[in-house]
């Protein structure tokens, strides 16, 4: 029997079409997805969440959330893209009612791309500063002499001590000659006072966007080659830093702090919410990048195997990166004779304040700084590749006339130029306030709602049984273990995953309204918070808006319209489509019947 008993395609759909390009090899796809998922959050957020939420005990909720939320959603996004061979918007021909989910993914990716390359520009700035002697953020720099803490011998560092938590790192940036050029908060009074553009950073941002443009000039043909370096280099650096950290005095103190167990933390909802959000964001779910990259796979690629390799590899990277971070921070705390918690931080404060200060205490500190900031660059640029790929794929699939190479280059140039010009706001003297605002709200409740509707739509509108059959059709010779796992994923998609997403969403709302947004001691004004909420609302509004458009295009009663709007369009073509002879055609979405056939 045919795997999909839906309506047959219209005759005009079977006309000639441009074949969709595919990855040159399976390793390009795996490395691209791994590089996309393994980003800056694996280095600067996961270790912090570990020590804040009970140390090694945090791994229990972390891996539970991986099994129940991360893996099912990751497999869903990869399978949807590979089976439909289309971008985040066009792929919803399988269920036109949910086209707004794809548009929402496009908006989220655009907001993230706007500020994410600013982090890469910071890494460029620090990378260039690492070649200076002495390092601008070390105690050997004359302008830091009064800020250094001396304990016995000259063992201080220019980093300050802040309260333990996410807001600790801004306090550590005050008065530091090495950090003011990047974070510059002392020259701005708040969100409404951005001040002038810092042109050294603007130049670094321009270089970052030019590099992204050149690396993606030929789409996956060029970016697929670049990832052989950018996706593997961070692992080499993490391994080197772990080995070097193990030889330092006080490193075990940092590791014990990282992995100390507090079983009572498991009773707190905050711990489980942090685990769910970290899994959700570190895997890159709901941005459209995974879906876009999977759309260039060959139809019979084993998507379940890829899901396990990429997702588990990503989570293990987060765990081992913690050893590289806390062994060096433990050495820094030992030299300063202070608790490890007083030098630990999260976010940019760890990557651009605490850790560089710790590296400056090591012999040959410029070498270690260059290595570390090169790692940050490769971590960031891989994630940005995925975001830009998601945006361009969504636009090109919706407007096929732009697929001509010159028009694709022009589109990429317009996107990079637009993001650069808009990003100049984030490299002003008060740009860090705008960075914090966009970072907080662009990937907040809106992204969770996008993933929730994607999960519910596939499970209940498209049909969870049909979706599982689609995966079996792609894998062809499905091994027994794949069949057993599909049964598990089916239960997750229909019940467990939506429930956990709903729990995370509710906790996100409670946290958002209960705790005002702050940057250090600066509390964001009401109009700033409202602007941030509008970013999330803009994302969410796409779902009902495009659902209303889909319903208006149908005829009949509201019930009839809803039923029609949840049925796949006639142009929903896959490699399981059958030709007249009943043979399976192996090229998705590109079926060509000619007279000679």
Q: Are the beta carbons of 455 and 73 closer than 8 angstroms? A: yes
Does residue 568 have a pLDDT over 70? yes
Predicted local distance difference test score (pLDDT) of residue 205: 96
Query: What string of DSSP letters covers 52-118?
Result: HTTGGGGHHHHHHHIIIIIHHHHHHHHHHHHHHTS-TTGGGGG-GGGHHHHHHHHHHHHHHHHHHHH
Distance CA 433, CA 118 (A): 13
Task: Output phi, psi for 7, to 5 deg.
Answer: -65, 145
- The position carrying tokens 């990832």 is 227
Which domains, and CATH codes, for the chain?
28-142+173-576 (1.20.1740)
pLDDT digits (tens, 9 = 90+) for 243-291: 999 999 999 998 988 888 788 888 888 889 889 889 988 999 999 999 9
List of residues 6+ apart from 281 with CB closer than 8 A? 41, 443, 447
Lowest mean pLDDT among 19-33, 165-179, 430-444: 165-179
3 state SS of 428: strand
- Looking at the DSSP bridge assignments, the partners of residue 428 are 197
Say yes or no to pLDDT of 580 above 50. no
Return the closest-CA partner of residue 382 out of 501, 282, 469.
Answer: 282
**455 neighbors 285 (Cβ within 8 angstroms):** no
SS3 call for 15:
coil
**382 marked as part of a ligand binding site:** yes
Q: Which two tokens mark 137?
A: 């953020």
Instruction: Please give the Cα distance from 438 to 479 (Å, whole number).
Output: 44
Q: How far apart are the first and last CA of the chain?
A: 24
Query: What 3-state class would DSSP assign to 584?
Result: strand
| 128: its two tokens | 């260039």
Q: Is the pLDDT of residue 454 over 70?
A: yes
> 75 with 492: CB under 8 angstroms?
no
Question: What is the distance between the alpha carbons of residues 341 and 25, in angstroms, rounded to a whole number?
Answer: 45
Give the C-alpha separation, 226 to 382, whole Å.
Answer: 9
- Is 379 labeled as ligand-binding? yes
Query: C-alpha 306: how far from its chain's center?
Result: 18
Tokens of 65: 């959330």
Q: Residue 582, by phi and psi: left (phi above 0), alpha (psi -120 to 50) or beta?
A: left
Tell me whether residue 144 is annotated as binding: no
35 is in an annotated binding site: yes
**SS3 label, residue 522:** strand
pLDDT confidence band for 45 (50 / 70 / 90)? confident
Residue 577 has pLDDT above 50, yes or no: no
pLDDT for position 336: 83
């Amino acid at each position: 029997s045919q795997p999909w008993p839906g309506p047959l395609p219209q005759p005009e759909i079977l006309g000639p079409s441009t074949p969709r390009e595919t990855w040159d090899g399976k390793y390009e796809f795996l490395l691209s997805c791994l590089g996309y998922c393994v980003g800056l959050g694996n280095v600067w957020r996961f270790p912090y969440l570990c020590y804040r939420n009970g140390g090694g005990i945090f791994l229990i909720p972390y891996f539970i959330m991986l099994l129940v939320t991360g893996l099912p959603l990751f497999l869903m996004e990869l399978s949807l893209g590979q089976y439909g061979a289309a971008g985040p918007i066009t792929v919803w021909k399988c269920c036109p009612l949910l086209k707004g989910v794809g548009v929402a993914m496009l908006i989220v990716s655009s907001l993230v791309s706007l500020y994410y390359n600013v982090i890469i520009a910071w890494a460029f700035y620090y990378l260039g500063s690492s070649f200076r002697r002495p390092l601008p953020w070390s105690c050997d720099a004359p302008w830091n002499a009064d800020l250094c803490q001396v304990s016995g011998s000259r063992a201080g560092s220019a980093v300050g001590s802040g309260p333990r938590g996410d807001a600790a790192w801004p306090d550590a940036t005050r008065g530091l000659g090495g950090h003011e050029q990047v974070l510059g908060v002392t020259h701005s009074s708040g969100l409404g006072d951005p001040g002038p553009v810092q042109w050294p950073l603007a130049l670094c941002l321009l270089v970052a966007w030019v590099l992204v443009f050149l690396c993606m000039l030929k789409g996956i043909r060029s970016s697929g080659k670049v990832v052989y370096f950018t996706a593997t280099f961070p692992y080499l650096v993490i391994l080197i830093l772990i080995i070097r950290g193990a030889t330092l005095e006080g490193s075990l103190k940092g590791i014990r702090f990282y992995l100390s167990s507090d079983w009572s933390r498991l009773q707190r909802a905050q711990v489980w919410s942090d685990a769910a959000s970290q899994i959700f964001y570190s895997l890159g779910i709901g941005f459209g990048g995974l879906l876009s990259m999977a759309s260039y796979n060959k139809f019979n690629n084993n998507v379940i195997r890829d899901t396990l390799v990429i997702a588990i590899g990503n989570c293990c990277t987060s765990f081992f990166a913690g050893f590289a971070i806390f062994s060096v921070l433990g050495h820094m705390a030992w030299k300063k004779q202070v608790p490890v918690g007083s030098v630990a931080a999260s976010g940019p404060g760890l990557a651009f304040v605490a850790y560089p200060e710790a590296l400056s205490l090591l012999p040959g500190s410029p070498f270690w700084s260059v290595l570390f900031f090169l790692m940050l660059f490769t971590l960031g640029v891989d994630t940005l590749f995925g975001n830009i790929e998601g945006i361009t794929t969504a636009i090109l699939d919706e407007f096929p006339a732009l697929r001509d190479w010159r028009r694709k280059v022009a589109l990429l140039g317009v996107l990079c130029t637009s993001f650069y010009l808009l990003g100049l706001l984030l490299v002003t003297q008060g740009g860090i306030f705008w960075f914090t605002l966009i970072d907080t709200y662009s990937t907040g409740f809106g992204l969770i709602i996008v993933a929730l509707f994607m999960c519910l739509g596939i499970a209940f509108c498209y049909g969870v049984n049909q979706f599982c059959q689609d995966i079996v059709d792609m894998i062809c010779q499905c091994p027994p273990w794949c069949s057993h796992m599909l049964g598990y994923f089916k239960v997750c998609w229909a019940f467990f995953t939506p429930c956990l997403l709903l729990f995370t969403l509710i906790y996100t709302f409670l946290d958002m309204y209960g705790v005002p947004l702050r940057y250090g001691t600066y509390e964001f004004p009401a109009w700033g918070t409202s602007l941030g909420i509008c970013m999330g609302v803009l994302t969410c509004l796409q779902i009902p808006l495009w659902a209303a458009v889909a319903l208006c295009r149908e005829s009949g009663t509201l019930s009839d319209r809803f039923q029609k709007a949840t049925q796949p369009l006639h142009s929903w073509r896959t490699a399981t489509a059958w030709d007249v002879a009943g043979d399976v055609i192996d090229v998705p979405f590109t079926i060509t019947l000619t007279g000679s056939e």
